[in-house]
Amino acid sequence: MELQQTNGVDTEGRDTLYLLGGAAMIVFGAGLILSTPLVRKYLSGMGVGSVGNLVQAAIPDFERYLKLRSM
């Protein structure tokens, strides 16, 4: 991979910062959405009351994945 430099500034660090900043904004936004009482009420009606149940609903084989990963 060829790195580009603009006016002597390394762009790889800036790209990494943008990537991590975007990921942080996604996590923060998801937290805001999941903390809304209306959303919590809707999710509990679907049988997803807590964060652990939310992970199991999103990824049904999460525990199996963790066991395979630890091998």
Straight-line distance from the first to the last Cα atom of the chain, in angstroms, rounded to the nearest whole number = 33
Helices (H), 1-71: 11-34, 37-45, 51-58, 62-70
3 belongs to a structural domain: no
Domain limits at 22?
12-70
Query: Cα-flanking dihedrals φ and ψ of residue 9, to 5°?
Result: -105, 130
**What per-residue confidence (pLDDT) applies to 24?**
94
Segment 36-53, tens digit of pLDDT: 888 777 777 766 656 666
29 belongs to a structural domain: yes
Polymer length in residues for the chain: 71
1 belongs to a structural domain: no
60 belongs to a structural domain: yes
Band of the pLDDT at 3, cuts 50, 70, 90? Answer: low
Instruction: Count up the domains in the chain and report the number.
Output: 1
Taking the C-alpha atoms of residue 26 and residue 29, their distance in angstroms, rounded to an integer, is 5
Segment 21-39, tens digit of pLDDT: 999 999 998 888 878 888 7
18 belongs to a structural domain: yes
**Tokens coding 64:** 């199996």
